[in-house]
């Protein structure tokens, strides 16, 4: 698939008709802000419980909405935001498309792609600013920070910490951990183990689901026996693709809840998030996309909105200036989550509350009350400054990636 759609989302000339003061202004006075959305989601392979597929345009629709939201301020300030979209089914084509866009002058990118692809793009576009709205990889936020990358999608560590705080509040401290066998599942399991240690939980047993069970039994029938271990309070599952995890709730040996990638799930965004003005964002998104907004959509929306907030403040589009402003406390961001959001200066990751949801309800939002932090309670989620070996504010001190 080769698709590059330079689409002028909202024409400055049309918008000018709304505000009298700019009626007589020539188009040359308009500050053009070009942002490219780069999308690549690898195929997840055959799945056992793939009944409800993920939307194929997850991420892009969030970026589109944010462009139209940003043009609303833009047309009063004579700033015009435009989205270029490049979506590909492999990393190499995405890299080529990104280089083409760069040659056309684009320096601001929202990337919804795996960590490996993000690293390539970061290296190939050193004078650009990339906002990661697709990879939850922890190493990008801890040891291998990329100097020109900010992250709006929460890391696995943030998600796991958000869940572990809630389980600590509920005093469900004995965990059975079940993980899938993919690299991503193992990374999610590692984040859960780290969170268990941070928040005083005990993993009483750990199992990997490899589906080498008795093939005469369905997965559902296998689960009660598979979860027959030392007694636990809760089953934690690390199955990012949704291969087997959906079969765990109600099928555990002990009558216990399930949490993690299935069951009670920590996520950046969900349909059931409605307070703090979120209902309005949900409605706007649903009108645009005809479906619910998910975490990828939110991350891409947040990425474009972060750029726009910086451009509004700076009245300029230089990627370095936007990056530097984003890493200060001078850019409070509105993410409809009840707190002002900001980027952590040490690793460029967006501080944000994490909703804990089940399919039809918001169960809680972390950070939980009582988990204190000397500077910002949201920094109790994910890698805190002392645990991170990079520091983006000391120009390029983030360990550059070397393959």
Partner 1 sequence: MRTNHHTTDNNKRINPMRLTHLACAIALGLASHTALATTAYVSNEKDDSISVIDLGSLEVTATLDVGMRPRGLLLSSDNKLLYICASDSDRVQVMDLATRTIIKELPSGADPEQFALHPNDRWLYISNEDDALVTVVDTQSDEVLGQIDVGVEPEGMAVSPDGKWAVNTSETTNMLHWIDTTTQQLVDNTLVDQRPRHVEFDKNGKRLWASAEIGGTVSVIDVASRQIEKVLTFQIKGVHPDKVQPVGVKLSDDGKYAFVALGPANHVAVVDAKSYEVLDYLLVGRRVWHLAFTPDQKRLLTTNGVSGDVSVIDVDTLKVSKSIKVGRYPWGVVVTP
Residues that bind partner 1 (CB under 8 A): 18-21, 69, 72-73, 76-77, 277, 280, 283-284, 287, 309, 312, 332-334, 338-340, 376-378
Residue closer to partner 1 (CB basis): 306 or 324: 306
Q: How far is the CB of 153 from partner 1 (least distance, A)?
A: 20
The packing angle between helices 278-289 and 295-314, to 10°, is 110
Residue closer to partner 1 (CB basis): 126 or 277: 277
* Beta carbons of 108 and 303 less than 8 angstroms apart: no
Q: How far is the CB of 341 from partner 1 (least distance, A)?
A: 8
243 vs 189: CA distance, rounded Å? 15
Identify the helix (H) or strand (E) that includes residue 25: none
Q: How far is the CB of 67 from partner 1 (least distance, A)?
A: 12
* Backbone φ and ψ of 249, nearest 5°: -55, 135
Residue closer to partner 1 (CB basis): 18 or 27: 18
63 vs 344: CA distance, rounded Å? 22
C-alpha torsion angle, residues 130, 290, 272, 61 (rounded to 10): 0
Q: What residue has token string 């270029």?
A: 84
Q: How far is the CB of 200 from partner 1 (least distance, A)?
A: 23
Q: How far is the CB of 280 from partner 1 (least distance, A)?
A: 5
158 vs 172: CA distance, rounded Å? 19
Residue ranges in 227-315 assigned as alpha helix (H): 278-289, 295-314
* Beta carbons of 74 and 33 less than 8 angstroms apart: yes
Q: Which two tokens stand for residue 207?
A: 């199992």
The CA-CA-CA angle for residues 264, 269, 273, to 5°, reads 85
Residue closer to partner 1 (CB basis): 14 or 51: 14
């Amino acid at each position: 698939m080769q698709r590059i759609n330079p689409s002028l989302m909202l024409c400055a000339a049309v918008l000018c008709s709304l505000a009298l003061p700019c009626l007589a202004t020539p188009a040359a006075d308009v500050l053009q802000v070009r942002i490219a959305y780069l999308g690549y989601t690898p195929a997840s392979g055959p799945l056992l419980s793939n009944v409800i597929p993920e939307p194929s345009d997850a991420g892009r629709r969030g970026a589109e909405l944010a462009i139209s939201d940003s043009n609303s301020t833009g047309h009063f300030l004579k700033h015009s935001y435009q989205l270029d979209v490049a979506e590909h089914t492999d990393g190499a084509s995405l890299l080529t498309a990104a280089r083409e866009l760069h040659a056309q002058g684009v320096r601001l990118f929202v990337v919804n792609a795996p960590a490996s692809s993000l690293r390539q793009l970061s290296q190939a576009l050193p004078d650009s600013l990339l906002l990661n709205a697709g990879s939850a990889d922890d190493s990008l936020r801890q040891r291998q920070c990329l100097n020109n990358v900010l992250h709006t999608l929460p890391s696995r560590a943030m998600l796991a910490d958000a869940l572990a705080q809630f389980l600590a509040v509920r005093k469900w401290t004995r965990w059975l951990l079940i993980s899938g066998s993919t690299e991503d599942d193992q990374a999610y399991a590692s984040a859960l183990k780290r969170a268990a240690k941070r928040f005083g939980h005990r993993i009483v047993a750990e199992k990997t689901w490899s589906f080498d069970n008795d093939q005469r039994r369905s997965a559902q029938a296998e689960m009660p026996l598979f979860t027959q271990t030392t007694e636990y309070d809760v089953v934690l599952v690390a199955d990012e693709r949704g291969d087997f995890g959906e079969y765990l709730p109600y099928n555990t040996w002990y009558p216990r809840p399930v949490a993690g990638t299935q069951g009670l799930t920590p996520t950046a965004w969900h349909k059931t998030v409605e307070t703090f003005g979120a209902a309005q964002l949900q409605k706007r998104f649903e009108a645009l996309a005809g479906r619910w907004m998910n975490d990828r959509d939110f991350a891409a929306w947040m990425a474009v909105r972060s750029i726009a907030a910086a451009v509004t403040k700076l009245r300029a589009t230089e990627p370095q200036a936007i990056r530097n402003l984003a890493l200060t406390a001078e850019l409070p961001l509105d993410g409809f989550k009840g707190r002002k959001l900001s980027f952590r200066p040490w690793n460029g990751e967006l501080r944000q509350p994490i909703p804990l949801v089940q399919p039809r309800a918001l169960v809680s939002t972390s950070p939980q009350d009582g988990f204190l932090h000397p500077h910002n309670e949201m920094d109790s989620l994910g890698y805190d400054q002392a645990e991170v070996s990079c520091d983006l504010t000391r120009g390029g001190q983030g360990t550059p990636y070397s393959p």
